Amino acid sequence: YVNLDETFMNQNLEISEAVVLYSIVDSLTALINVDKVQISINSDTSGKCRYEYDLSTMYEQDLSLLLSEEATDASTENVTAK
């Protein structure tokens, strides 16, 4: 369980909700003995991370966002190199 304060809700909206959530989840689930992560705001698990992701959910690692970012970076490098 990760308990954050209300400033977590006032994030940079240029960064997608999924990236914000899974940057925390993926970092913690990379640790030994951490399989799932639940985030609370001031010990409250009702509501949503921002708009879509429920705080009451136990989230598992999902590296698909990382992989898509790497693919995007590789594509950008290929275009830039030409």
Read off the pLDDT band of 43 (50, 70, 90): very high
Q: What is the pTM (predicted TM-score) of this model? A: 0.74
Q: Is the pLDDT of residue 68 over 70?
A: no
Q: Is the pLDDT of residue 11 over 90?
A: no
Other CB atoms within 10 A of residue 53 CB: 17
Instruction: Please compute, for residue 35, the number of CA atoms within 13 A of its CA located in the half-sphere on the CB side.
Output: 0
Q: Catalogue the long-range contacts made by 19-27 (C-beta closer than 8 Å, 24 or more residues apart).
A: 19/65, 20/49, 20/50, 21/49, 21/53, 21/59, 22/59, 22/62, 22/65, 25/59, 25/60, 25/61, 25/62, 26/61, 26/62, 26/63, 26/66
